[in-house]
Structure 1
């Protein structure tokens, strides 16, 4: 994309022929201006993804972490299976928590849906600091059939790639395997200190389509609403 000469977004938007019943001229004018920004956003997303893919090799992992899988002890290297890329989501469900994080659960609900397709390309795994028995109960309760879970009982992985203080934090990291060695490729490094004024702390890109879908609505994300583990009877 970076080597191609792009048509200005305004010219692309001018090709738009969409009109809907009873819309005003003000609406159509504003919608066309928005379309220009949407085209620019799509291009920015492509540029960021291209820059991310072009990152130099990260550091080799310091140890082949000891974890507990659904069938017993496992090493970090075994989580790749036959793939060269491993995506690890660390959820907020430490032993001190009475219940799993609702926001993490919302994300994993979406991830489970695409997990079957995703695992055809890469390896994925969910980890937390809670004992494996607790994670298996959670997995069964939520129906996460497409998501492998591992417990980071020692906390070594968590302290290395999620929180040096072993805090109950969420995180996503990508690792690559090259010539028999495993390298860190990417971790989302945004935190609450990097938020713009009035913005709820979050990283980017958003990994839960819930927020992207709410962005399409007049109400937006809101300022005081978060996913819940249960919404009661409907």
Structure 2
């Protein structure tokens, strides 16, 4: 634990009250942005995407499972992977128990990856998840949303010196660096109205943090995320941590 300023209870309470004002401002700003997300124009999905599901081939409309809203987490698990991305796996740990609550609000949440569905379902069993997981490897679904990259597009990144954490994650997934970074994470949202599917929202990178509950909790601890200067990423699959 690093050294930190020590104060009195009175000093803490005064500083906490000052911080609370800013936290409330951030909450109100978050509410404003949520309304702006809902006000985005819907885009009709014209392509006839097909997915591998547990029950056979399905369309994007089929994935709604009788509800009017669909959230898709684009999970990094490419065809050459032997296991899912550890970071995406940590996100799935948050998503899985929330599916029942989302369903109560007319939202279906699934994961989509480009690996064969049998490989995805085997990994899901290992992780103890229950959400629906579809294989999109036979379509341009991930590519069209910017979550799949070509070797040509990746060449500047690969030639510029690959961070150690990327190599670490590639090895953890049982593939090489190119195979790993061909995939990208993301979240996309859809509405089904009068038989037509509309895309309503897409995000990636730090836009995924609401599904990374541990970061919000770490941000409230004395050391915070404490990732600066670390050569290896601390995240592991939940069955790979050493218990202390």
* TM-score grouping bracket, smaller chain normalisation: 0.7 to 0.9
Paired with 1:227 and 1:216, the residues of 2 have a C-alpha distance of 18
Q: 1:92 aligns with which of 70, 76, 80?
A: 76
| Residue 12 (structure 2) aligns with | 27
How far off its partner does 1:204 sit? 5.6
Instruction: State the match for 2:29 in structure 1.
Output: 44
Counterpart of 1:135 (choices 110, 120, 126) is 120
4+ long deviations beyond 6 Å: none
The 1:108–1:164 alpha-carbon spacing in structure 2 relative to 1, beyond 3 Å, is: closer
Equivalents in 1 of 2:196, 2:122: separation in Å?
33
* 2:224 is equivalent to residue 211 of structure 1: no
8 Å contact from structure 1 (residues 89, 173) kept in 2 = yes
Give the equivalent residue in structure 1 for 2:242: 232
Which residue of the partner structure matches residue 76 of structure 1? 60
Question: TM-score of the superposition, structure 1-length normalised?
Answer: 0.79
Question: Which digits, 9 at most, give the CA deviation of each residue in 1:46-95, with x for residues without a partner?
Answer: 111111111222x2112121110012211111011221111111111112
Aligned equivalents of 1:179, 1:105: Cα separation in 2: 34
SS at match of 2:184: coil
The superposition leaves residues 75-133 of structure 1 with CA deviations (integer Å, 9 ceiling, x where unpaired) of 11101122111111111111222321111111111111111111222111101111111
Higher helix share: 2
Cα-to-partner distance string for 1:130-182 (whole Å, 9 max, x where unaligned): 1111101011111112x101001214111112335363111100011122211
Tell me the equivalent position of 1:173: 188
Q: Name the CA distance, whole Å, in 2 between partners of 1:115 and 1:67.
A: 20
SS of residue in 1 equivalent to 2:211:
coil
SS in 2 for 1:206: helix
Q: Output the TM-score relative to the length of structure 2.
A: 0.76
Q: Which residue is equivalent to 2:155?
A: none
Contact 2:149 2:183 in 1 (8 A): no
C-alpha contact 2:148 2:184 (8 A) present in aligned 1: no
Contact 1:93 1:168 in 2 (8 A): yes
Q: Are 2:216 and 1:183 equivalent residues in the alignment?
A: no
The verdict on how the C-alpha distance between 1:204 and 1:74 changes in structure 2, with shifts beyond 3 A counting, is: closer
- Tell me, yes or no, if the aligned pair for 1:64 and 1:77 is still in contact at 8 Å: no
CA RMSD of aligned residues (A): 1.8
- For structure 2, the residue ranges without an aligned partner over 5 or more in a row are 1-6, 151-181
> Does structure 2 retain, via aligned residues, the 8 Å contact 1:94–1:128?
yes
Unaligned runs of 5+ in 1: 1-21, 192-201
Equivalent residue pairs, number:
200
